[in-house]
Structure 1
Amino acid sequence: GRVYFSYGQKLDFRLTTGGLVQPAVQNPSDPNRNILFNWTEYTLNDAGLWINSTQVDMFSAPYAVGVKAPNGTTKTTGHLKAGGYKGFFDSLRSQPGGWANLIQTRSDGTILRALSPGHGIGAGNLPASVMDDYINRVWSRYSTSTLTVTPFADQPNTKYFGRVSGNTMNFTNSAGAVVTSFQKPDADSIFGCYKLLDAPNDLVRGPISRTLCAGFNRSTLLVNPNQPDTSAANFYQDSVTNHYARKIHAQMADGKAYAFAFDDVGAHESLVHDGDPQQAYITLDPFN
C-alpha cells in the first residue's frame, strides 16, 4: 500500500474502470502537478511490516518512517541531514548536463519536487543520451573480459558470467550454457530498471538484471568485474552516473534511500521491518 500526504490542499484522486488513478507529476496536465506532496510505501502481512521512504519517482517533501518492536525499540530511516532538503536541490541545480531541469517549481516560486531521471527523460527534461558514454564503455570492456554476477549473498556458488557480442550481453552458468541475454540498454532502461533491463520475478534473469541495474546506476561496472559491488565507497565515482541518486544518498542522515528501483541491492535502501510490529510511524520533517 501507499500513504500519501500533501501540503496546502488535498490531492486529486480519480477512478476509472481500471481502478485508482494515482498522481503522475511527470505529466504536466496531471491535476496534482502544482501540489506539494509525497508518499510512503509499505507491505503488511503475516511476516510483519516493511515500510520505506521512496524517491524512485521523485524527491519532494521530507519525511521518515519507523516501526516499533515488541521490546519498545523503534527502527527509523529516511531523515535528511540538517540542511539536506535545500542542499539536495542546490546540488542538483548546479549539476551540468540537464540535471537541473528535473526540478519542478510552482508559479509562486515554491520548489515542488525533482523528478527522477527516468521521468525526466520521458518529460523531455533530461537528454536520453545522458548515460551513453558509460554504457558504451561497459559494452567495450566486457566484449574482451568477463562480468561475473553472484546475485544471491547466501548462495556464493551461484554465479553467472557475462560477455558482450555485438549489441548483446550473454550470461552463461557455470556449465557454459546461456541462461539469459540483454540487449545494450539505454538510459531510460537503466534509470527505470525495466524495458531492456526487465527483471521478472524469477531466479535467473530477474536477479541478474537487478544486479546490472544497480551497477549501471551506481557506476560500479567498470571498477569491479564482480557484481554486485555493495561497498558504498565505490558508488557514483564515475562522471557519468545517476547524479540524482548520488545527491539523494549524500543528504540522508543514515546514507540510505530508495533513489531507484533496485537501490536495495546490498541493503542501501531506506527500509525498516519488524516481524511483530506494534506501531508504525510516518514523520513529516521540517524543510530546513
Structure 2
Amino acid sequence: MTVAGATLAAALLTFGAPPPADAAVPDTVPLTFTNNSGRGDTVYIYDLGTQLSTGRQGWADASGTFHAWPAGGNPPTPAPDASIVGPANGQTKTIRIPKFSGRLYFSYGQKLDFRLTTGGLVQPAVQNPSDPNRNILFNWSEYTLDGSGLWINSTQVDMFSAPYAVGVKLPDGTTRSTGHLKPGGYNGFFNALRAQPGGWANLIQTRSDGTVLRALAPGHGIEAGALPSGVMDDYINRVWQKYGSQTLTVTPFGDQPGTKYYGRVSGGVMNFTNGAGAVVTSFQKPDSDSVFGCYKRLDAPNDLVRGPISRTLCAGFNRSTLLTNPHQPDTSSAGFYQDAVTNQYARKIHAQMADGKAYAFAFDDVGNHESLVHEGNPQQAYITLDPFS
C-alpha cells in the first residue's frame, strides 16, 4: 500500500461513530458487485488485506474464507491466484467479505499481477512504467470490516480510473451509497484535465490501443516525472509569507471547539502553540509532494496533536483555503480550489461527483468531504461498476 493509501486505511479504522452495544457484526458480510460498465471484458475481483484478528496479510475467496500469503522472495515471487471471476455486463455477483482491512480490486479483461516480497504483498504502482499492471484497466475500493461495523469508500488517492460506487444496506432496509459520477463525468474529468495548463494533462496514462487507463494522482505524477515538482511552490511560499506576520488558528476536532492551536512562521518554520503559549509541534516548509501526499514534511502520526494539525494543513493546502481563511479547517466547499495554484486533480474529481464527495487526497475527509459510507450493523455491501460514457 502506498503512503497515501496506508494513511487512508488508518482513517477508515477511526472514522464514524461506534454502533450500539448490542449490534453484533458477523464474521462475514455479503457484498454484491453490479456490472453496469457497458464493457464486454471479463471482470476479475480480488479481496486482499490484513486479517484483523491475527494481523496476518492474505486474501479472501468468494465465500469470505481467509488465506494467508505464503512467504515471498527477493526478487518478488508470484502470489497465488486470488482472483474471483466477476459479473458480466448487466449482471451481479455476490461474494462475502471477512473482517479485514484491505482493498477490493477489480480489473477488466486481464488478471492483475501480484507479487510477494519477504515483507508481504507488492501493491500495483502504475506510476512505475515497468509495473506489470501498467497496461491493465483496473481500480479498487478500500474497506474495513471490524466489530464496529463496515467502512467502505471509493478512492482516488492514488489514481482516477474505472468508475464505480460503493454502498451499504442499513438495518432498516435503506441503502446509503457514494462514489457515482455525474452523467458524462468520466469523460468530463479527463477532458478537464487535458485542458488544464501546467503539465496536468501528463497525469493521464493510455494504452497502445488508445484506451484511457487512468490519471495518476499528482504526487505519483511528480514521482513519474509527469508533473513539475514545484507545481504548488508559489502557493506554499505565499502561505509561509502570510503567516510570518499573521496567526493561523487550527481547531482540529469538530466536537472539541475549545481545542485550538496557533501557527506562526519564524525562521522558515511554522511553529504551533497551545493556549498556554507552549510550542506543541513545528513544520518545515513543505514541498509540493509533501502537500499532495500528506506526508514527509506534513507527516501525520496517529496522535492527538501533530497528526490532527497536519491533516488540517494538508487539506488547506490541497484545497487552497489557507490564504483566504486563517481559521482552519475550512469546511465549506464553496471556497475550495479557488486559487490559480491548487490541486487541480482533486478539484476536477470533486466537480464530476454526483454528490460532490471524493477521496482525491489522503485527508479529503477533513470537513466530511470524502466518498465513504459507514454502518455499525451492516446487512449488505455493494460495489457498482459504473458506465464509462
* Equivalent residue letter for 2:200: W
- Where do 4+ consecutive residues of structure 1 move more than 3 Å? none
Aligned position for 2:265 = 164
* Secondary structure of the corresponding residue to residue 152 of structure 1: coil
Give deviations 1:172-210, integer Å, cap 9, x for gaps: 000000000000000000000000000000000000000
Aligned position for 2:222 = 121
Q: Does residue 139 of structure 2 align to residue 23 of structure 1?
A: no
From 310, 317, 327, the counterpart of 1:209: 310
* Secondary structure of the corresponding residue to residue 107 of structure 2: strand
Aligned position for 1:95 = 196
Aligned position for 2:139 = 38
CA distance in 2, matches of 1:128, 1:19: 30
* Equivalent residue letter for 2:203: L
Give deviations 1:93-115, integer Å, cap 9, x for gaps: 00000000000000111100000
Q: CA deviation at 1:30?
A: 0.3
CA distance in 1, matches of 2:239, 2:259: 23
Give deviations 1:124-151, integer Å, cap 9, x for gaps: 1000110011011100100000000000
CA distance in 2, matches of 1:20, 1:249: 31
Q: CA deviation at 1:18?
A: 1.1
* Secondary structure of the corresponding residue to residue 221 of structure 2: helix
From 120, 137, 147, the counterpart of 2:238: 137
Aligned position for 1:68 = 169
Q: Does residue 101 of structure 2 align to residue 3 of structure 1?
A: no
Give deviations 1:65-85, integer Å, cap 9, x for gaps: 000011100000000000000
* Equivalent residue letter for 2:266: S
Q: For 1:118-267, what aligned pairs fall within 5 Å after superposition?
A: 118-267=219-368
CA distance in 1, matches of 2:109, 2:192: 26
Give deviations 1:35-59, integer Å, cap 9, x for gaps: 0000000011111000000000000
CA distance in 1, matches of 2:215, 2:202: 8
CA distance in 2, matches of 1:270, 1:46: 22
Q: CA deviation at 1:17?
A: 1.4
CA distance in 1, matches of 2:256, 2:206: 47
CA distance in 2, matches of 1:252, 1:130: 25
Q: CA deviation at 1:116?
A: 0.1
**CA RMSD, aligned part only?**
0.4
* Secondary structure of the corresponding residue to residue 136 of structure 1: helix
CA distance in 1, matches of 2:227, 2:123: 23
Q: CA deviation at 1:166?
A: 2.3
Moved more, 226-235 or 17-26: 17-26
Q: For 1:79-90, what aligned pairs fall within 5 Å after superposition?
A: 79-90=180-191
CA distance in 1, matches of 2:267, 2:133: 44
* Secondary structure of the corresponding residue to residue 71 of structure 1: coil
Aligned position for 1:280 = 381
* Equivalent residue letter for 1:75: R
- Determine what percentage of the aligned residue pairs are the same residue: 85
* Secondary structure of the corresponding residue to residue 217 of structure 1: helix
CA distance in 1, matches of 2:117, 2:236: 39
CA distance in 1, matches of 2:117, 2:232: 36
CA distance in 2, matches of 1:285, 1:215: 31
* Secondary structure of the corresponding residue to residue 86 of structure 1: helix
CA distance in 1, matches of 2:199, 2:315: 22
CA distance in 2, matches of 1:281, 1:25: 26
Aligned position for 2:36 = none
Q: CA deviation at 1:22?
A: 1.2
Q: CA deviation at 1:284?
A: 0.3
* Equivalent residue letter for 1:202: D
* Equivalent residue letter for 2:115: R
TM-score by length of 1: 1.00
Gaps of 5+ in 1: none
* Equivalent residue letter for 1:221: L
CA distance in 1, matches of 2:171, 2:237: 51
Count, aligned residues? 288
